Structure 1
Amino acid sequence: MKSWNRMQDAVAVVLGVFAALSPIWLTTNDRAMWSLIVLGVLVALAGLAHMARPDMAVADYAMGVFGVLMFISPWVMNFHALEGAAWTAWVVGVLTVVVAVSAMPMMAARMHHGDHGVAAH
């Protein structure tokens, strides 16, 4: 379970760094640039925090929230017309939520014990 969580944390860091650096090669406006930078840094920091303290479950929940915010940011910050920036936010947002949900303690415990939603008798 620990190596799987470590991999998820590393993926989160990579996703966050990618989003934060993406304004370098994407066409953005100020809202898109700062949304990608700030949310990307927060995702990467959540991954690093969970690497440093694997027992800190709040990092997984925070990562999930940051992923949702990243996903909705093109509409909220009105940069959905900038296709590259919008698609980056949508894809990184969805992947971040998937990583966060799969790393949450309940999901990780189920994967570790082979429980697939079947109640114990």
Structure 2
Amino acid sequence: MTAPRLKDPRLKAEREGRRGERAAAWYLWLTGWRVLDRRVKTQRGEIDLIARKGRTLCFVEVKWRRTSKGLDTAIDAYRLRRVADAAVALAARYAKAGDDVRIDVLLMTPGRWPRRIVNAWQPDA
């Protein structure tokens, strides 16, 4: 028996996005990070992955596209602001005293290593 085909493009995009998040979690693990949580929702937005490596706590936004061409415009200031707002709301739950806290973006496409934007969000001074 085969799985039913997804007719709604949003459902297909959701499924592919989840696949990208799983791949991103594997990538983080392979590079020494421990994934603490996935798909954490707040009233302000959602965090795809929360990871820790030593004293660094990282809120990770994952962007998955079918081709690398679409990755250049996958993240914008509006989306990044929503991630930052969610990270602020969640930091007290996950951060320990003395932690460095940052927001990274992982840009993912099939057949290529992820492109990582480290410390992608800098709050306005």
Fold in common (TM above 0.5):
no
Greater helix fraction, Structure 1 or Structure 2: 1
Larger RCO, structures 1/2 (Cα 8 Å, 6+ apart): 1
- With normalisation by structure 2, the TM-score equals 0.31
Greater strand fraction, Structure 1 or Structure 2: 2
- With normalisation by structure 1, the TM-score equals 0.32
